[in-house]
Structure 1
Amino acid sequence: MTLLRLENLTASYGDSQALFGVDLQMAQGEVTALMGRNGMGKTTTVKAICRMIRSQGTLMLDSQDLHMLPSHKVARKGVGLVPEGRRCFADLTVRENLTAAARPGDWTLRRVTELFPRLGERKGQRAASLSGGEQQMLAIGRALMTNPRLLILDEATEGLAPIVRQEIWAALNRLRQETNVAILLIDKSLKELSAVSDRAVILEKGRTVWSGAMTDLTPDISEKYVGV
């Protein structure tokens, strides 16, 4: 069953058009990599899904037209965002960051700290005192505490130490194997994306230029649209 459906999605920043026709479909429990070079519309697509930018075209979550909703109601419909740059509440503790976002469901403080044991060890610390990797884990945990049906991660491992990147990819793989949460991933690491993703959608200049099973993404296609 289709959870998220985008068809011919367009969006602009004022007079500057950024999306010219994005097509994307995701099923419940599916992991999709949203790929493309920098500046091709990936983050703008995420902003459109979350209603942080005005858009036109088909934008559906289940049978709900997201165009009709403000961003906070999109979140309540089950869309959890881990934004680029983390954006934790710096003056709140780890526990407070997590519980502030909590909504009823399977994801609780205990379950999040089982996924990320470092957060359990630092529950009483202010977010500002955490390392960059720990703040990223906190941002993911905070999104999970909303008990989303769709989890969106925008560059969740960018700029992190290799060992922390491995922890985060391992956690995402656990989510894929152990939950029914759909995950939309933006990341630059094709190797890690290939290991956890079921499907890929590639954007070029604000348009979908390729979509399909991750196993069908050939080196020629990735070099043409993703390679530097």
Structure 2
Amino acid sequence: MSALLEVEDLNAAYGASQALFGVSLAVKEGQALALMGRNGMGKTTTIACITRMMAARSGRISFAGHDLGRLPSHKAARLGLGLVPEGRRAFAGLTVRENLIAAARRGAWSFEKVCDLFPRLAERAGQRAETLSGGEQQMLVIGRALMTNPKLLILDEATEGLAPVVRAEIWAAIRALKSQGQSILVVDKSLRELSSVADDCVVLERGRDVWHGPPAALSGDLAQRYLGV
């Protein structure tokens, strides 16, 4: 199985403060990879570098056979990177339908297919995004990313701060996407929920990738060491 995304020896900094120290990871076609770690360990910085929202200091990022190098973020996105950013960033003044159509690119995903995945969005199609609940906004942002027909769907803390029933609905959707062959890179803290989706995990600690392996092996003392509060 070929690697869709390869990150090798990634280093990044905010001014004089280095944030990533030689991070490496890979996502294969059809695979779900979990990027894990406590808060402030470099997960979102890694995502920002992959999506070219932030320039890396050094290292290599290869996606779908392309060296992302110094590509601007919009060109990286057009190669097939679909980002669901941390913090639910829907277009507040647009309706649900307008949010989804605005992101549409030619491919399998359509407004109707997104609504099949998230039926609540069909019910709210004419409402402005700013009137939706937090969970509905997150469904909308995931749907918007899918409307770009991504080769790799990147989810950065997609269920953080949501009610348990909504979290369960979103995780069910992520499992459905994985079963359909969607390649996924997911950032989250819940090992229990990630175990139902992820093929492999990469754990970051203080900007370094300190553990790679299947979620079933990340348990007990090991989980407490890297993920415990």
TM-score category by the smaller chain? over 0.9
Q: CA deviation at 1:215?
A: 2.5
- Other-structure match for 1:75: 77
Q: CA deviation at 1:196?
A: 1.0
- Structure 2 residue runs of 5 or longer lacking an equivalent are none
The answer to whether residue 186 in structure 2 is matched with residue 185 in structure 1 is yes
- Other-structure match for 1:32: 33
* Matches of 2:156 and 2:51, distance apart in 1: 12
* Matches of 1:200 and 1:124, distance apart in 2: 39
Secondary structure of 1:196's aligned partner:
coil
CA contact (8 A) 2:153 2:185 kept: yes
- Other-structure match for 1:223: 224
Structure 1, residues 49-102: CA drift from partner, whole Å, max 9, x if none? 000111020111032111231000111000000000111000000000000000
- Other-structure match for 1:100: 102
* Matches of 1:142 and 1:63, distance apart in 2: 25
CA contact (8 A) 2:191 2:215 kept: no
Q: CA deviation at 1:219?
A: 2.0
- Other-structure match for 1:46: 47
The answer to whether residue 155 in structure 2 is matched with residue 153 in structure 1 is yes
* Matches of 1:17 and 1:54, distance apart in 2: 12
TM-score, normalised on structure 2? 0.97
Q: Aligned residues, how many?
A: 227
- Other-structure match for 1:140: 142
* Matches of 1:219 and 1:149, distance apart in 2: 34
Q: Residue type of the partner of 1:122?
A: R
Q: Percent identity?
A: 62
- Structure 1 residue runs of 5 or longer lacking an equivalent are none
Secondary structure of 2:196's aligned partner:
helix
* Matches of 1:99 and 1:28, distance apart in 2: 26
The structure 1 segments of at least 4 consecutive aligned residues displaced by more than 6 Å after TM superposition are none
* Matches of 1:199 and 1:213, distance apart in 2: 4
* Matches of 1:227 and 1:10, distance apart in 2: 25
